[in-house]
Chains A and B, each alone.
Chain A
């Protein structure tokens, strides 16, 4: 097993790095989606609230693998079928595996991120918004300067958790041929017939990566807390 690990560690590591890159990109997209949809869900306007709610209901309901197939196989094929040049220009690039995976995972994780950010905003005492308004801030300014900076600190630990969920979810991208960690393991297994070793090594890579990420997030969390509660 040790010899096996030594032989293929480099290949696995490359796969892990690709998975991590995919995760960072998907998380960035999910964060942006989550921020805007959460604000929509808390909006004073009914139609925005409804639209935000619909987003969460829809994309929390679609399994990520189904979404991946829809984005990678479904959309570009549909654009080509319709033959509309605008649609082809818009959706054609999704036949790029990495792009399709990034989009699918962003949209999927965006639904969860929405709920994390919404709950964090609501967890903040209401008087923070009121105090901000009492000194003449508009709703938007109060959100940006007073509410979100505090809420995102509350959101940080569950967002880190979401990051880890996305990372493990990137193994799904192996089915559309993205050469991330799981795909590397499949290729090694196919070449060596050592299925058990190949997948144990993949599992170990995931576990170590997650432990490292957890440790990092705890360290950052401590730093964030130090800023707000104890001061100097």
Chain B
């Protein structure tokens, strides 16, 4: 029996080649898309799940509710949180702090610049990572202990054993000799951690930098807790706000106390969720996005649906060809159930063939796909999950695509069909086909609209006016390093001498850094209900000039005014006051709308950092236009600009009229001359800003590719349907032609028939796409408008593609001699 089914199915496939090719190829492309997306999704979901006991490990995240601003999220957390959590919750087995550091590493005469993660001795108790050399228990117990990954061991020591070797590392707190105590396996790509070096975290070294480990208001460390086996996270989560109130002391700035616990909220994210669900500033590497994973899963399903619809449509369209077989089998005693099983089996068989083709397609594009996603993806047949998902897909496609045809075909009543060899196709199946084509094109048009909007937004973010001239601006970092800070002025002067450098300026931070430091201002004689939080930037006198940021009221900072210089001790500043410039956004804090009104106003603020009681009066001497220093996702903040040289960490070179690469080389030579022990680090601002949107662009491209595939599959189906319709309608068209219709009239009739479902599809696609895209665009602080042009263009594009697809068949039928059609019908 099965052999008979199989014989009929296979011979049928060979006899109807066009039908088979469209079905198999369409399904194969659909399945291949699905498998590729599935691999991406599985990979995204696999992050950190491989770490032993990941279910018991939680990362502490932070949320700041700064008055007057959207909440700010950070993956990092305040340094004191680790000890406090361990103290308050007995369910915690152990905890660990990780601090990122970029020391200069010297091995003999060689200078390297690699990232080092400083951590507690409990690291391997939390993250049970395998060592290839050294002992986990003691590896981090010494103050000079350092471990490195296998690839770093190779980079630094070649094939020799690194154990016991010494590397001199210059940290923020000074140069230390570190001794290698172990080598760990390179971390796979599917972890949120990025660790090349692991060094002992010596807390006393940070005494002069309290913001790293001792401040509740700065987030410069990553903290993890591991629960005891069998304990529950829920009670800890429930107690977190009480925990915050108990443990977080008030912050004193300039003699004023702020209830820090009110602004700060801690959350605990399970390790397996960190990659996709933690959000905000920081992170060892680019984060994933749960929305992206959901979106692509949905796209995969939609592509599969389009392919299934092809199958259903072609199968019911061809039903008349199978009618005789159905009738005959019934005459010979087949039950309807047996026929349903036969036809479902056929569609599953077809899916299996399509899967084989799909696997070949996947294997062919996988290297490219992996490069694109920047990760190693492989098609491993030893992977049970892959087999399960493939079997699932085949069954899904076979059953979804084959179900209706099986029901429909098995319903035929044999008596009529066998008598006259007549077709049994009814009106009903034609209407269903029309509806399904509408669904296919609705999905296609929707995907086209989404692609266009995503592309438009990405382009917009890259090219939008960000308030300053980003072109030809080279940022060189590291001025604040101990070995360089005294050379800041010399470096600036030397950079100025490079031919082609029009100007040099300096600042504490560079665009797209994502850092922020804030202070709280008060308006004398005015009591505000909420603290007025303002961002602080330290800039050189010529900063606005070089960045080409327009001054909209008052003046820029200048050497000519002694009070513009805010260097000096806190007590000194408290006594003499100083001048600063604010941005337009800061006017709101002062309760002003007109920039000119701000000039001459005075505000008071703390000086000398946390714990200092000194306050100073700041006179606003100018207002500048807002600039978008960070991504289009971040809101524009109120900023106060002051001149304070010790904060400068970046030199910015404005390049004019020469090849920017030459400037970079020349600046590098100067740096290496003056600061040979320090690595030279430079980046063009335009590139840096643009890189912020690389992930968006990559996702956009992936989206575009899969949208394109969806359209191709839908068109394949339409092509098959057109060929079927053309055959079926030859008689009707013959009669029309005999009655005097011209080729042009016939083409118009057929073209209209195929246009209708595409036009109707717009009615479904437009609102759905509009709704989805509006939501997506709202995740940006600045966005493009949803122009109706995009929607109409997508609809017209789909129509054009559809008509081009059916044109061949339409022309063939329209031009055929009616005599042939009528004689043989």
State yes or no: do A and B come from one complex.
no
